[in-house]
Chain A
Amino acid sequence: MASTLISAKLPPDVDPTKAPIAFGRRALPKLSREIQSPELLTQQRALMALCDLVHDPENVYQAVQIGFLENLKTLLLHHDSTVRQKTTEILYIMAMHNVGRQGLIQNAVIPVLTELLDDPEDICRKNTHQVLDMMAKLPEGAVDILHAGLIPLLVVRLKTESDEIQELILGTLSNCLRMEASEALATDAITILKEKLTHPSATIRNKAAQVILEIGTHPEGKSTVCEEVIPLLVSLLEDTDPEVQASAAGALMFATIKPKGRCLALRAEAIPRLLKLVAVENSKARLSAIKTLTMLAEVAEGRRKLLERTDIFQQCLRDPSEAVKRAAEIAIRVIRWKPF
């Protein structure tokens, strides 16, 4: 009579498209050999089996240990689209685990992924972008992507790809530019991002605003952002999606550091909208709004307007988030500052 003990093994399946998996520790080495076989069907079956195995982190670790990534790198450039698709999927799943990410960095997989950005298959490209997005979340991965010179290529593809992939690209860009924002300036990314700010999809607007935020941390980026994007960002402060509002406030936070940006923002009537945002539930939005108001309070005009509304900031002093409290204190101090 069968017992109810669930074993650690995966349930046996009779999927004919998958290669049979050897027992225990022999599974991955055998698959590794099969992947290198010259016959296409064997390779495909091995890849399908590997795809399932790789969901387990221990298998990921073992795969990295036995040098699977070298084989996968060669397979990335295979002529058959199924092989490429499955390989990219496997890399994506591996990148979801930290061990896998480290392995990807050590084996220098990212430069090879550059070749796949132009793949004719949609799903291959999507998987590639997913891998890049995952890798960019890790600081070393982001540095790797920067070194491989992918930023200009990604920016160009923002114009042409589908919405899903655009989201992934924007995510990658925002994480990479956090490390080093100067790359984006060379490629004139801001014009493209300006268009995205008016995209119908909320996620894309949100992510585009985040990328602009990251560009704004760089001094040159600030001037470019000031010139072109501030009115758009101010209008986004009243967007329907709260996430978009928060990101727009964040981007404004950096854009208004320069005096020119401050004047532009004041002229675009940013203060009333930011004051509305201060009372919102999203703590990120509150924090960004308070910080932006602090920036605007550096200008005399802004100070005048905000002196009347210091009660709002008093309220924020009792906020549950520590950062918001601090920001509110600083804001009050700046507003009450007098030149003499």
Chain B
Amino acid sequence: MLPALRPPPSAASAVPYTYCSPPRAVPARPKYRAPLEADEPQKEPARWANLMYDRRVVRGNTYARQAVPTCIHHPNAFEIQRQREARRKALARKRAEEQIQLRTPEPVEGREHVHVQTELYLEEISDRIIEVDVECQTDAFLDRPPTPFFVPAKTGRDVATQIEEGELFDFDIEVKPILEVLVGKTIEQALLEVMEEEELAKLLAHQRAYAELRNAELAEVQRLEEQDRRYREEKERCKQQQMEMLQKEKETMEKIAAQAFAKRYLTDLIPSVFNNLHESGFFYDPIERDIETEFLPWLMTEVEETLEKKTLGRVMLDSLIRTVTEKRLDVFSQKPLPDQVEAPAEEHRPTDNAPQVAAETEAADQAVTADEETDQPAAEDQASHHITFQSEEANQEAMEDSETD
């Protein structure tokens, strides 16, 4: 219940009615607010009369308020004074309390006052108030069952309408375009795919045909190549064979010619060789050789000895004859003068004959020697004959020599 209404003041008091918020016309507002700096010192006058922001409206609980002020907008002078005095008194009271407050004396020098707890048990003093949480819980409830389906009570009246066949729309006619579109698009998609595959198949077929032709042509080319290679090789081989044959022929001819020449050359070889050998004395008759090498030298040495003996003999004879002639000369030179005429003649003659005499003496010597020698064994008769013959020859030779001199 609302508190008792205050009687309307207009009936009894003589105070003229004052508006709490006087009506006023809507002031012309600028479109944009003025900048903030201008406003800071003073607040704008309240432009609205909003209940929520009105200071006159009591907020909070109203049970504890002491007095309901009649009107705070126009207080009496008495009221003002009273308020001031109340304020002064409060202030004085506060100061008095402060002074009365017991003060402990100031601490002595070197010490200081400390607040200490003197109780038995120390207590932690803090601003925080010790709180204890206590909970309590109600029993677990069952789940709230689902609300039953609300079916409002039937109101109104039932009314029915009937639609005859063919009144709304004709399904067959209406469905046609939809169906056409559906089917058409499906078929189009299918056709696209089929065309793709067909294109591929055509491509493949084209390629295959081309490949066929190409392979056939390639095979032909390679076959012709092969053929050509074979023919060429055959030709080369034939040519090669022919060349070889010619070569062989030439060689054989040369060989034959060389053989003939060599044969002819060599026919003379053996006889000439034998001749040479024979001439150089490789083939010798051993008896002849023997005779030559042994008998004849021996014979020659023997002959030499014999000849030496002969010459020795002659020399001896010569010397004998010489001595004899010298002696005779000596003898003759001691003979008389007639002999001297004869002597020169004889000398002449001896000089002429001297060589002759000498020769004769030589011969005589020789003869003497020969004679002397003939005194010796007669075995040497023949030899002496020979020797005389030879001495005569020697004489003749000497004469010839002297004549030639």
Residues of A within 8 A of B (CB): 1-4, 6, 10-11, 55-56, 96, 137, 178, 213, 217, 250, 253-254, 257-259, 283-284, 287-288, 291, 294-295, 298, 323, 327, 330
Contact = CB atoms under 8 A, between A and B. Distances in A.
A311 to B, nearest CB: 22
Which 3 A/B pairs are nearest by Cβ-Cβ distance? A11-B185, A2-B177, A253-B219
B189 A287 contact: no
Nearest to B197: A96
A258 B219 contact: no
A213 to B, nearest CB: 7
Given A257-B226, A298-B227, A323-B212, 17 more contacts: A4-B177, A6-B185, A11-B189, A96-B199, A96-B200, A137-B204, A254-B215, A257-B222, A257-B223, A284-B208, A287-B216, A291-B216, A291-B220, A295-B219, A298-B223, A323-B213, A323-B216
Given A55-B196, A258-B226, A287-B212, A137 B207 contact: yes
Contacts of B186: 11
B344 interface: no
B192 interface: yes
22 contacts: A4-B180, A4-B184, A6-B185, A6-B188, A11-B182, A56-B192, A137-B203, A178-B211, A217-B218, A217-B222, A250-B212, A253-B215, A253-B219, A254-B218, A254-B222, A283-B212, A284-B212, A291-B216, A291-B220, A295-B219, A295-B223, A330-B220
A254 B211 CA distance: 14
Contacts of A254: 215, 218-219, 222
Interface string B57-88: 00000000000000000000000000000000
Interface in B278-303: none
Interface of B: 177-178, 180-182, 184-186, 188-189, 192-193, 196, 199-200, 203-204, 207-208, 211-213, 215-216, 218-220, 222-223, 226-227, 230
Contacts of A217: 215, 218, 222
Contacts of A330: 220
Contacts of A6: 181, 184-185, 188
A258 B223 CA distance: 8
B215 A96 contact: no
Nearest to A56: B192
A15 B234 CA distance: 76
A3 B196 CA distance: 28
A72 B311 CA distance: 147
B22 to A, nearest CB: 66
A213 B181 contact: no
A250 B215 contact: yes
Nearest to A2: B177
B64 to A, nearest CB: 64
B226 to A, nearest CB: 5
Contacts of B204: 137
Contacts of A250: 212, 215
A287 B211 CA distance: 12
Contacts of B226: 257-259, 298
A25 to B, nearest CB: 20
B219 A257 contact: yes
A213 B196 contact: no
A6 B207 CA distance: 35
Contacts of A55: 192-193, 196
Nearest to B200: A96
A14 to B, nearest CB: 14
Contact of A291 (B182, B211, B219): B219
Contact of A2 (B178, B192, B212): B178
A253 B207 CA distance: 19
A250 B218 CA distance: 11
Contact of B181 (A4, A96, A288): A4
A178 B211 CA distance: 9
A25 B284 CA distance: 133
Contacts of B178: 2
Contacts of B182: 11
B313 to A, nearest CB: 114
A94 to B, nearest CB: 12
Contacts of B200: 96
A283 B188 CA distance: 36
A11 B181 CA distance: 9
A96 B199 CA distance: 9
A137 B202 CA distance: 13
A298 B229 CA distance: 13
B219 to A, nearest CB: 5
A41 to B, nearest CB: 26
Nearest to B225: A257
A323 to B, nearest CB: 6
B189 to A, nearest CB: 7
Contacts of A291: 216, 219-220, 223
Contacts of A96: 196, 199-200
A337 B216 CA distance: 21
A220 B307 CA distance: 110
Nearest to A262: B226
A254 B217 CA distance: 11
A259 B227 CA distance: 10
B232 to A, nearest CB: 14
A291 B218 CA distance: 10
Given A6-B185, A257-B223, A295-B223, A213 B180 contact: no
A66 B203 CA distance: 28
A213 B215 contact: yes
Contact of A294 (B188, B215, B218, B223): B223
B186, B188, B230: which has the most chain A beta carbons within 10 Å? B188
A294 B221 CA distance: 12
A4 B178 CA distance: 8
